[in-house]
């Protein structure tokens, strides 16, 4: 894929949804400025797009000026949606229609941080592999279970570019610049930002189990993997132990020694943490969330949730 048509710069739009993550925006947009500087010519024309008005405000209250607004005619080659907060609540039909219009015109589309959720809301990720920030993944799966969602830092699938956000956008833009102008320029851009360890798209978004839980016990790590794969249909202790390759009593001893908590208590807390995330990041009812996290009834869920967090589930709704 060539980044230019003749001598015309490749035109990239950044649709900034108010509350967008400033780190994600900077990591996504700055590599193109550096590419222009290092190449000594304008390879990329970066255009900020606002929903309304002449600017957009980030989650850190920084104001970013926009050159154009949604709906105004601009000849884009690629448009990225950047969003933070809770993108599952985004309902602006005008924006969703504009994104569909761009797709019909053959414009490539991308999303960073919560941006992929908005592309999915517009029906533009059907049949595409994609990723999203881990904070939004559970809610998106519940809303649209048929999406081909991956937990990697970024995914490029034909004319769709999705990125989990944060500094992972540096990795994705390295890939994009390399595909346009070669690895040498892309490496110079990454070096410019001291980004010397460029990651492949399939890298995980979060630290591994060893770093997160402070244990390298193979049965414990395997058990946690099994639990995370069965949050909506929880297994009993005997099943978890069998799949982990040890007996129930031994698994309980390992969890107590390495994690400081019994096996099933840890499993219950994983389910409650996912429920808390769904309460904060989705519009699912409390009953739907209870079922999605393996509780037999909303009453049982509410009681267990209150015991864990000290407040009823309704307090965590946005």
The pTM (predicted TM-score) of the whole model is 0.73
- Among 1.20.870.10, 3.40.50.880, 1.10.357.10, 3.40.50.300, name the CATH number for the domain at 10-192: 3.40.50.880
Q: Which residues of 263-292 are buried (b: 16+ CB within 10 A; e: fewer)?
A: bbebbbebbbebbbbbbebbebebeebbbb
- Which SS3 state, helix, strand or coil, does residue 79 take? strand
Distance (Å, whole) CA 9 – CA 216: 50
Phi, psi at 263, each rounded to 5°: -55, -55
φ, ψ for residue 288, nearest 5 deg: -65, -40
Rounded-to-integer distance, Cα 292 and Cα 296, Å? 10
Q: For the chain, how far is it from start to end, CA to CA, in angstroms?
A: 42
Is 15 within 8 Å of 83 (Cβ atoms)? Answer: no
**List of residues 6+ apart from 105 with CB closer than 8 A:** none
CA distance 120 to 52: 22
The pLDDT value given to residue 60: 84
Domain 209-316 is found in CATH 1.10.10.60: yes
Residues of the chain with CATH 1.10.10.60: 209-316
With a CB cutoff of 8 Å and minimum separation 6, the contacts of 248 are 237, 238, 241, 263
Residue 18 has pLDDT above 60, yes or no: yes
The tens digit of pLDDT for each residue in 21-66 reads: 999 999 999 999 999 999 999 999 999 999 988 899 988 888 999 9
CA distance 140 to 88: 7
Q: Which of 29-38, 194-203, 305-314 has the lowest mean pLDDT?
A: 194-203
Name the nearest CA neighbour of 124 among 138, 104, 143, 140: 104
Residues of the chain with CATH 3.40.50.880: 10-192
Q: Which residues pair with 50 in a beta bridge?
A: 69
Q: How many residues are there in the chain?
A: 318
- Backbone CA torsion sign across 172, 18, 87, 271: positive
- Say what the pLDDT of residue 80 is: 98
- Give me the percent of the chain exceeding a pLDDT of 70: 96
């Amino acid at each position: 894929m060539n980044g230019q048509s003749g001598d015309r710069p490749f035109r990239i739009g950044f649709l900034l949804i108010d509350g967008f993550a400033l780190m994600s925006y900077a990591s996504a947009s700055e590599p193109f400025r550096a590419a222009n500087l290092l190449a000594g010519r304008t390879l990329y024309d970066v255009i900020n797009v606002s929903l309304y008005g002449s600017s957009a405000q980030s989650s850190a209250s920084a104001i970013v000026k926009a050159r154009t607004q949604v709906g105004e005619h601009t000849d884009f080659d690629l448009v990225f949606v950047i969003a933070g907060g809770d993108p599952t609540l985004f309902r602006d039909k005008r924006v969703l229609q504009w994104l569909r219009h761009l797709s019909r015109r053959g414009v490539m589309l991308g999303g960073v941080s919560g941006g992929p959720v908005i592309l999915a809301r517009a029906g533009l990720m059907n049949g595409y592999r994609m990723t999203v920030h881990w904070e939004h993944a559970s809610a998106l799966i519940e809303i649209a279970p048929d999406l081909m969602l991956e937990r990697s830092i970024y995914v490029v699938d034909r004319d769709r570019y999705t990125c989990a956000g944060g500094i992972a956008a540096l990795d994705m833009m390295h890939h994009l610049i390399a595909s346009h102008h070669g690895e040498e320029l892309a490496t110079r851009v990454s070096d410019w930002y001291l980004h010397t360890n460029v990651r492949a798209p399939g890298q995980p978004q979060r630290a591994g189990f060893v770093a997160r839980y402070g244990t390298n016990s193979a049965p414990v790590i395997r058990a946690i993997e099994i639990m995370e794969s069965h949050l909506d249909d929880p297994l009993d202790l005997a099943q978890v132990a069998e799949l982990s390759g040890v007996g129930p009593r031994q698994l309980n001893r390992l969890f107590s020694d390495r994690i400081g908590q019994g096996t099933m208590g840890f499993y219950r807390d994983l389910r409650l943490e996912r429920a808390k995330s769904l309460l904060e990041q989705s519009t699912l009812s409390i009953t739907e969330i209870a079922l999605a996290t393996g509780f037999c009834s909303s009453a049982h869920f509410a009681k267990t949730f209150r015991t864990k967090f000290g407040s009823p589930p309704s307090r965590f709704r946005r």
